[in-house]
Amino acid sequence: DAKTTQPPSMDCAEGRAANLPCNHSTISGNEYVYWYRQIHSQGPQYIIHGLKNNETNEMASLIITEDRKSSTLILPHATLRDTAVYYCIVRVLGGKLIFGQGTELSVKP
């Protein structure tokens, strides 16, 4: 079973930052935090991952707390096309991804 807890749904206004929280209180020292999203029934899409430090790429930023028990995915300027289910997943090196229910993000005009 998934080792993360996410709110089932969130709304965000277009152009505003979307902050998606995730709890992973039982994360092990060798587990990474990954974020994927799934738009409609398309294949899941990788967004970002991190171990300890905050990470940023062209899609998003990942903020991981110092104790690593929670993280936040930030979409800095959400667009309508960011409407999707967002999955927070913890994964050991080389391990499989186990998807939970994720957070259904609705970006509204």
Partner 1 sequence: EPEVTQTPSHQVTQMGQEVILRCVPISNHLYFYWYRQILGQKVEFLVSFYNNEISEKSEIFDDQFSVERPDGSNFTLKIRSTKLEDSAMYFCASNGGRPPGELFFGEGSRLTVL
- The footprint of partner 1 (CB under 8 A) covers 32, 34, 38, 41-46, 49, 51, 87, 91, 93-94, 96-102
Nearer to partner 1, 14 or 59 (CB): 59
Nearer to partner 1, 9 or 16 (CB): 9
Nearer to partner 1, 1 or 67 (CB): 1
DSSP of 48-86, one letter per residue?
EEESSS-EE-SS-EEEE-TTSSEEEEEETT--GGG-EEE
Closest approach of partner 1 to the CB of residue 56, in Å: 16
State both tokens at 44: 């899941």
Closest approach of partner 1 to the CB of residue 20, in Å: 17
Closest approach of partner 1 to the CB of residue 24, in Å: 15
How far apart are the C-alpha atoms of 28 and 90, rounded to whole Å? 9
* 8, 12, 18, 19: CA torsion to nearest 10: -40
